[in-house]
Amino acid sequence: MRTSKRQRIFYGWYIVGVGFLANVASSFALASTMSIFLKPLTADLGVSRGVFSLLRSGEGIIAACIAPLVGTLVDRYGGRWLMVIGTGIVAVGYFLLSHIDNFAQFVGIRLTLVTLGDSMMGYMVVNVIIVQWFSRYRGRALAISSMGVGFAKVCMPVVAASLIIWLGWRQTWLAFGLMTLGLLVVPALLIIRRTPEAMGLLPDGASAPVADDMARPKKTTVGAAQAGAQDLMWTRGDAARTTAFWLLVITFGISSIGVTGLNLHVYSYVTDLGYSAVIAATVMSIIASMQLASPLGWGLLAEKIGARYAATLRFVIQGVGLAMAILTGNLFGLYGGFLLYGIGLGGNMVLPDILWADYFGRQSLGKIRGMGLLISHFLAAIGPPFFGFLFDITGGYGLPFAIFGGVLVISAFLSLMLKPPRRKN
């Protein structure tokens, strides 16, 4: 039944709220969370940092293989039950982690239950759902949802470190399982819906149908040649034959190598410099605070100047911050550099998904985004062991951080080359 009155609050914003909670719950599996466990877990289970880092690579590879299937399922069935089932699987994985006796058991549970469940409840599913509900306000909607990651990262260093001190690292995973269930199962079940049209609504809460490319500010449209592109059905083969697909994958994929590596090793990097664990946790909280504060600004900026120009600026700011953090050699430079780095990293929460949605539309976004993640997750999986083994070889993190800085420069230039795809009939 079509809604006759315009709602005071568009239902899509409730979807965004659940997306925020999903991103908070998913953050328990992130590399930045694992970094808090790195030292106590490796010491207790007797593994090196390099070997421990391979776990994150394995998780990335498995998530990459799962992504195309999950994307197709979201397109076909919606995301509500995927999120509910995925949350349950993750929680079971965390409960089992609290009872392990060796590193092989830890790896087995993380690579199966945790990785599978997180892929079903995490950011890709959330963002594909949100894109169905928004067009003109897509940037801000994705930004608000993604702020859940920043919110969790602000709290996570202190919460995880405190729980490890009070309960030990095993029982901390049990607490994470209970929190995951409490955050997401009921909201996802009660609120998530597939599309606004299924509820008699239109994207953005519009009162009349508006062509998606006309509804968005001119700077962010998919272009006149792509009129109606948001309603096109793309096959994986069609997308793979476009330059836009590969530029999106490479631009954001190569930078993710450094992001995942730094996420896992930044806590150890700071403590290895001679600073206390409190300062290291503060650095992580600074990065996370900017990931909480900056996504909305990036989303609004993308609506104003275009997502590809915003992406270029994001890589520049991130690179300048990283250089400042590793070159100044003092605490002020460390804090200030990672603050800038965090501002730039906040753009990664929003800009890639805006570009994917703008270029390939609502109808096929799940399977196309999933195919892109198949490749970008493989690239991201390189980061943790790359940083870890270079540390084992060189005795420090200087070389991998410097390489990461060079990659950010390359990504900034590549983002300027991004253009909407042209569908060949």
Range of the domain at 351: 12-196+234-416
The CATH number covering residue 344 comes to 1.20.1250.20
CA distance 154 to 308: 28
Work out the number of other CB atoms within 10 angstroms of the CB of residue 17: 15
- Spatial contact of 129 and 192, defined as CB atoms under 8 Å apart: yes
Q: What is the DSSP letter of 74?
A: H
DSSP-based helix, strand, coil % in the chain, nearest 5: 80, 0, 20
CA distance 217 to 304: 7
Q: In the prediction, which pLDDT does 218 show?
A: 44
In a domain, 5, yes or no: no
In a domain, 201, yes or no: no
Q: CB under 8 Å to 76, separation ≥6 — which residues?
A: none
Is the Cα torsion angle 27, 33, 34, 35 positive or negative in sign? positive
CA distance 389 to 392: 5
The H helix count followed by the E strand count for the chain is 19, 0
Q: In the prediction, which pLDDT does 230 show?
A: 52
Work out the number of other CB atoms within 10 angstroms of the CB of residue 221: 20
Longest dimension (CA), the chain: 67
CA 206 to each of CA 14, 108, 151, 203, 228: distance values in angstroms, whole numbers, following the listed order? 16, 48, 30, 6, 17
**Any idea of the CA torsion for 21, 24, 30, 32, to the nearest 10 degrees?**
160
CA distance 117 to 70: 11
CA 10 to each of CA 14, 120, 130, 357: distance values in angstroms, whole numbers, following the listed order? 8, 25, 12, 20
- Spatial contact of 20 and 148, defined as CB atoms under 8 Å apart: yes
- Spatial contact of 230 and 361, defined as CB atoms under 8 Å apart: yes
Start-to-end C-alpha separation, the chain = 36
Q: In the prediction, which pLDDT does 122 show?
A: 86
- Spatial contact of 98 and 173, defined as CB atoms under 8 Å apart: yes
Burial class (CB in 10 A: 0-12, 13-18, 19+), 308: buried
In a domain, 203, yes or no: no
CA distance 95 to 100: 10
Q: In the prediction, which pLDDT does 411 show?
A: 97
Amino acid at 71: G
CA distance 398 to 387: 10
In a domain, 221, yes or no: no
**What integer best gives the mean pLDDT of the chain?**
86
In a domain, 395, yes or no: yes
CA 342 to each of CA 81, 259, 291, 346, 348: distance values in angstroms, whole numbers, following the listed order? 33, 11, 6, 6, 10
Burial class (CB in 10 A: 0-12, 13-18, 19+), 209: exposed
> What total number of domains does the chain contain?
1
In a domain, 214, yes or no: no
In a domain, 352, yes or no: yes
Amino acid at 74: V
Place of tokens 């991004």: 418
Q: How many CA atoms lie within 13 A of 124 on its CB side?
A: 31
Burial class (CB in 10 A: 0-12, 13-18, 19+), 407: middle
In a domain, 175, yes or no: yes
Q: In the prediction, which pLDDT does 186 show?
A: 95
Mean pLDDT of successive 10-residue segments in the chain (425 residues)?
Answer: 58 95 88 75 82 78 89 89 96 94 92 94 90 90 89 80 88 93 95 90 76 46 41 84 95 93 86 87 85 90 92 97 90 95 92 92 86 88 85 89 94 95 71
**Spatial CA neighbour of 334 closest among 381, 397, 388:** 397
Could you list the beta-strand ranges (E) of 8-105: none
Q: In the prediction, which pLDDT does 232 show?
A: 73
Place of tokens 């550099």: 337
Q: In the prediction, which pLDDT does 42 show?
A: 84
**Paired tokens of 191:** 């609120």
Q: In the prediction, which pLDDT does 214 show?
A: 43
pTM above 0.85, yes or no: no
